[in-house]
A and B are shown apart, each in its own frame.
Chain A
Amino acid sequence: MADFSKESCPSVKNILLLDSEGKRVAVKYFSDDWPTNASKLAYEKSVFTKTLKTNARTEAEITLFDGYIVVYKFVHDLHFFVTAGDDENELILASVLHGFSDSVGLLLRGDVEKRTALENLDLILLCIDEIIDGGIILETDANTIAGKVATNAVDGSVPFSEQTISQALATAREHLARSLLK
């Protein structure tokens, strides 16, 4: 996987979804900066502990460490992270993070919890796949991302299929709005 220079595309080094203990729910790395699983785990641990005490629930937060920029957001017991090189435009990363966390919210119909996330891991993985391709941003709009993932939902097993896409998204949005108002 190639790393791109600043001259070229904005690029993301990894996307992480961890639980409230820092364990992996779903992660995807797009850079060779962490060649082994051990180095990946070490990175996740340090990101998790460094951000644990902060309050990233209403607004996305940001930190700079070890030469990486990390934007992150917590929803219930799930921690969303997006990492990039330290010369990246922070706001572009924030838009990726929002695309990620909001589309997961839509897909889990507002029930953003570790348990639901694991039960619908296929959706989460597809979601990441639709946001970034090899470090390059594919899509940042949450509705579009969720729409792309939901069309592919397994017939019969997921309630989405009982509704049309627009219906599904409407319910999801409703759920999201309700959970935010709580």
Chain B
Amino acid sequence: MAQPLVVKKDDDLDEEEYYSPFLGIEKGAVLQEARVFHDPQLDARRCCQVITKLLYLLNQGDTFTKVEATEVFFATTKLFQSKDAGLRRMVYLMIKELSPSADEVIIVTSSLMKDMNSKTDMYRANAIRVLCRIIDSTLLTQIERYLKQAIVDKNPVVASAALVSGIYLLQTSPEVVKRWSNEVQEAVQSRAALVQFHALALLHQIRQNDRLAVSKLVTSLTRGSVRSPLAQCLLIRYTSQVIRESGVNQGGDRPFFDFLESCLRNKAEMVILEAARAITELNGVTSRELTPAITVLQLFLSSSKPVLRFAAVRTLNKVASTHPLAVTNCNIDMESLISDQNRSIATLAITTLLKTGNESSVDRLMKQMTNFMSDIADEFKIVVVEAIRSLCLKFPLKYRSLMNFLSNILREEGGFEYKKAIVDSIIILIRDIPDAKESGLFHLCEFIEDCEFTYLSTQILHFLGNEGPKTSDPSKYIRYIYNRVILENATVRASAVSTLAKFGALVDSLKPRIFVLLRRCLFDGDDEVRDRATLYFKLLGGEATVGETEKDVNEFLFGSLDVPLVNLETSLRNYEPSDVPFDISSVSKETKSQPLAEKKSTGKKSAGPASAVSGPVSTVDASYEKLLSSIPEFADFGKLFKSSAPVELTEAETEYSVNVVKHIFDGHVVLQYNCTNTIPEQLLEQVVVFVDASEADEFLEVASKPLESLPYDSPGRTFVAFEKPEGVIATGKFSNILKFIVKEVDPSTGEAEDDGVEDEYQLEDLEIVSADYMLKVGVSNFRNAWESMDPESERVDEYGLGVRESLAEAVSAVISILGMQPCEGTDVVPSNSRSHTCLLSGVFIGNVKVLVRLSFGISAPKEVAMKLAVRSDDPEISDKIHEIVANG
């Protein structure tokens, strides 16, 4: 055969630079060819070629059906007859490829077991690897003896094969592999580098759940018997794990730190890197501990190998986020990396410099960056933009050069994500640095003149409408905005119209001119644009009936939508067309915390059949409202203010499962008990919850609605209503007893007996707390909302919270006492911080908007102090918030 591997050669393709030996290969034809495997006189070379072709097909992504795979597999097993070593090797490879898709793979075990005890080391090693992939635990016990021998085999290839297989088998048959500890321990002492590595990996996995054993292992090995670089890397990982788990260092010196430090002087670079990285990642690492690691990484920075430079700069970049000062020594080396051929390295260098830079170096850095930005990919640019944003917030005085830089890159080519990152950064800078406002707005105006992204245009227009009128010369923005009305698509035009209206409302001198512009928009081709123009035109002209005063107009234009969109959507869906217009104030303002709801539903699933009906009931507020208003006793309670999440009053898996939902009205509280009977042999009748309110003075029971019958596995509801003084935050504790009549049910017929027995069942206590009177309502921009509130309503006071576990714990405790919505992610406390400011917003009963600013500080003995500032629509409520905290 001249060209043995060519199946079919197309003449047209002869002109190609090279031919592929697999040109025109077809699965069907190759499967036919596989018949040579059945020949009584095996042609080893030809068989090898066919296997290669099969493997080629699989490698290119072809798949075999189960039948095909099984057929090929059986044919392949015939090849064990051949003594050809090369063919045997290909057979092993083929079996491994086929083993997941073919049936009956197990039949080759005997052939493999024979090979496993062969005299040829290569057969032994490979047979072990293949066998361990296809074996089940019963067969494993049969060959366990051989595997144990193989682990301590003289030949390192055989030993490694057995050890690596052990790592796999540990996942399926841990109890078997754990018996090999002695052999594995012996292999750790092997002189072959890779055997040492594999043995250590397996030994650690065997012991990983036993902290003490891992610690012992590390203690004995760090004394220096491990020489292979890979094994040392492993040992460093295990050591840092032990350090992490041993927690706080007693008496200053960290255990095993000496070992990590000694690894920094290792010959192998991979060990040095692993050790340096382990040191930088230590919990609460000190600068004294960092210094040696930073020094070796600095040396790597000037290596000729890109991989080494990358590894070093990436590690230093991480360190710079937490210990910027420790990295400043490397700044000179870093700066030379900005021009590195490898753009990943250059980006990491730049962002590291931005993190460690000081005020004086900013200008120089910016100059270097301008060239740099043009030739890196968008994803790197975003990283840089984010770094610049945080740098600018750190050095507000340098806003001019940073803002210029941002506007320059904004003009260049770039994708949506990149442009969005820039626009977001500029907006943040405008918000936080008042001096930057005018130039920032101007840059944004320039940008929307030639912006291909509708989303960004509308975002900027909206922002311009809020900020532009407050600048010294609002008129200069009008041109940019009106250009949008002429040039852009409908979405952008609509938001430009809104922006124009905002200018008209706030700047009296511009009002007549805005009228002219709005009038032109009245004939726009798009409905939405026309509608908005008409509305604003009338509104500003004082013809519309949105409100009597100018303040109402502004409120309408600038007030943010204070209901969550999800709730608005649900309410609109529930709204049935009628004479009564849809009232937006009827939409619940409570932000649903989604993850909590999800957790609850999964929790209930395990609790049993209760989830069936109570699940949907507890999720939608609107359905509560409908439910309560349909009960005549509660109809005159007024508008439902808030419904709490269900509180479980029974343990999971008890006879009767009960949870309660607290419905808060202005002058009433309704407790809704959702009950489920989990005993098939019982029928409950006249179910009622007897509530003892003796520990809740201000509450007076006014109504109780019993449940007629509660059959097995179909949840029912019973209600108890209380009257409470209006405008008072009444709190108290209620004890509950479930009372009912039990009737036996014959499980075979499902019929209940006539006579029942009275019985009762103690439920857990229930509390009504001040947080129940607070709705979680977020605000989008806390600062603006805060400033728009009357400063007269502000009440400030300081509190000592005593010794707390951590700052985060204190913050979440106060949040839960108040029951308010944390804004702008301020509920998350960065670890190790000594102080924290938390912003909260909510609506108090009586529809009073409340904003709270909490400043926390923690002292060395974990003593937490808190300053609480409240603003609200009603100064009295501000006082009440303080009362709540003082009592909580």
Interface residues of A, Cβ cutoff 8 Å to B:
2, 6-10, 24, 26-27, 37, 40-41, 50, 54-55, 59-65, 71, 89-95, 113-115, 118-119, 121-122, 125-126, 129, 133-134, 136-140, 148, 151-158
Contact = CB atoms under 8 A, between A and B. Distances in A.
B122 interface: yes
Nearest to A93: B307
Contacts of B307: 59-62, 71, 90-91, 93-94
B59 A24 contact: yes
Contacts of A62: 306-307, 310-311, 342, 344
B835 to A, nearest CB: 31
Interface in B213-267: 230, 233-234, 237-238, 241
Contacts of A136: 164, 167, 198, 201
Interface stretch (B44-52, B586-594, B598-606): B44-52
Contacts of B55: 121-122, 125
B273 interface: yes
Interface of B: 5, 18-22, 44-45, 48, 51-52, 55-56, 59-61, 63, 84-90, 93, 96, 122, 129, 157, 160-161, 164, 167-168, 171, 194, 197-198, 201, 204-205, 208, 230, 233-234, 237-238, 241, 269-270, 273-274, 277, 304-308, 310-311, 314, 341-342, 344, 377, 379
Please list the 7 inter-chain residue pairs (A to B) with the smallest Cβ-Cβ separation, ordered nearest first: A91-B270, A152-B89, A154-B86, A37-B61, A90-B311, A115-B18, A94-B307
Name, among A2, A152, A155, the residue most crowded by chain B CB atoms within 10 Å (CB to CB). A152
Name, among A41, A91, A118, A152, the residue most crowded by chain B CB atoms within 10 Å (CB to CB). A91
Nearest to B168: A134
Given A125-B55, A152-B122, 16 more contacts: A7-B237, A26-B59, A62-B311, A63-B342, A64-B344, A89-B274, A90-B308, A90-B311, A93-B307, A94-B307, A118-B20, A119-B5, A119-B21, A122-B55, A129-B93, A154-B44
Nearest to A60: B307
Contacts of A153: 86
Nearest to B214: A7
A6 B274 CA distance: 12
B187 to A, nearest CB: 15
Contacts of A24: 59-61
A85 to B, nearest CB: 14
Nearest to A119: B21
A92 B233 contact: yes
Looking at chain A's contact residues, the main secondary structure is: mixed
A129 B311 CA distance: 27
Name, among B51, B164, B273, B307, the residue most crowded by chain A CB atoms within 10 Å (CB to CB). B307
B93 A125 contact: yes
Contacts of A156: 45
Contacts of B273: 89-91
B118 to A, nearest CB: 14
A135 B239 CA distance: 23
A155 B305 contact: no
A133 B129 contact: yes
Nearest to B344: A63
Contacts of B86: 152-155, 158
A122 B48 contact: yes
29 contacts: A7-B208, A8-B201, A8-B237, A9-B201, A10-B234, A50-B377, A54-B341, A59-B305, A60-B306, A61-B307, A63-B344, A65-B379, A89-B273, A90-B308, A90-B310, A94-B307, A95-B270, A118-B20, A134-B164, A137-B197, A139-B160, A152-B85, A152-B88, A152-B122, A154-B45, A154-B84, A157-B45, A157-B48, A158-B86
A121 B164 contact: no
Contacts, number: 151
A64 B315 CA distance: 13
A70 to B, nearest CB: 10
A151 B18 contact: no
A63 B314 CA distance: 11
B282 to A, nearest CB: 15
A111 to B, nearest CB: 12
A122 B270 contact: no
Nearest to B205: A8
Name, among B157, B204, B277, the residue most crowded by chain A CB atoms within 10 Å (CB to CB). B157
Contact of A60 (B20, B270, B305): B305
A157 B274 CA distance: 45
A92 to B, nearest CB: 5
Contact of A114 (B18, B160, B306): B18
Contacts of A50: 377
B344 A125 contact: no
Contacts of B87: 154
A60 B201 CA distance: 27
Nearest to B53: A121
Contacts of A133: 129, 161, 164
A12 to B, nearest CB: 12
Contact of A59 (B5, B93, B306): B306
Contact of B306 (A40, A61, A89, A138): A61
B201 A126 contact: no
A14 to B, nearest CB: 12
A96 to B, nearest CB: 10
A89 B270 contact: yes
Contact of B122 (A26, A125, A148): A148
A148 B121 CA distance: 10
Contacts of B60: 24
B10 to A, nearest CB: 16
A7 B241 contact: yes
A20 to B, nearest CB: 10
Contacts of B314: 64, 90
A118 B22 contact: yes
A26 B20 CA distance: 13
B52 A122 contact: yes
A50 B48 CA distance: 36
B162 to A, nearest CB: 12
A102 B270 CA distance: 19
Contacts of A10: 230, 233-234
A92 B201 contact: no
Name, among A41, A89, A113, A157, the residue most crowded by chain B CB atoms within 10 Å (CB to CB). A89
A26 B274 CA distance: 31
Nearest to A94: B307
A91 B307 CA distance: 7
Contacts of B308: 90-91
Nearest to A161: B86
A97 B45 CA distance: 30
Given A152-B86, A154-B87, A126 B93 contact: yes
A137 to B, nearest CB: 7
Contacts of A64: 310, 314, 344
A45 B335 CA distance: 33
Nearest to B238: A7
A54 B237 CA distance: 33
A121 to B, nearest CB: 5
A123 B205 CA distance: 33
B44 A9 contact: no
Contacts of A60: 305-307
A2 B59 contact: no
B45 A121 contact: no
Contacts of A6: 237
Contacts of A148: 122, 157
Nearest to B84: A155
Nearest to B56: A121
Contacts of A118: 20-22
Name, among B89, B161, B379, the residue most crowded by chain A CB atoms within 10 Å (CB to CB). B89
